[in-house]
Amino acid sequence: MSDRKVKSKTRVARGAEAHQYGLAAERRALLWLMLHFYKLLGRRVKTKAGEIDLIMRRGNVIAFVEVKASDDFDKAIEALSPHQQGRLVRAASLYVAARPALHALDMRFDMVLVARGKLPRHVPDAFRP
């Protein structure tokens, strides 16, 4: 087998591992939020503008949650770029526009940071559009 094929398979394996880690982080984030009395409205919701990791509701607030997993919280919080913030805002707007019952709720953009060996960290109102 050529070096190129070995490197390609290694890259694919790393990508699959990262994907699984991300899914596990989303499950941990969801459980954490539910333990703090948030109700799940949607998970991995796809819109024309992109995917929303979690859509949660607590009282009169609908939270569009981006889950970031990393080795530590500092790396995780830096992983949400301005481009991703814009994508999340556009996706949230499309989601709410299609659901008139949600129009009266306050919209918020949260993050849940997941780091190995630590409890998740919820960052309410992580950014404003």
CATH fold label, 3-123: Trna Endonuclease; Chain: A, domain 1 (3.40.1350)
Is the per-residue pLDDT at 3 higher than 70?
A: no
Give the C-alpha separation, 108 to 101, whole Å.
16
pTM: 0.86
**Which of the four pLDDT bands, split at 50, 70 and 90, describes residue 7?**
low
**In Å, how far from its chain's centre is CA 7?**
29
Number of H helices and number of E strands within the chain?
3, 5
Contacts of 106 (CB under 8 A, 6+ apart): 60, 61, 62
Give the C-alpha separation, 4 to 43, whole Å.
37
pLDDT 10s digits, 21-72: 888 999 999 999 999 999 999 999 999 999 999 999 999 999 999 999 888 7
Per-domain boundaries in the chain = 3-123
pLDDT 10s digits, 96-119: 999 999 999 999 999 999 988 899
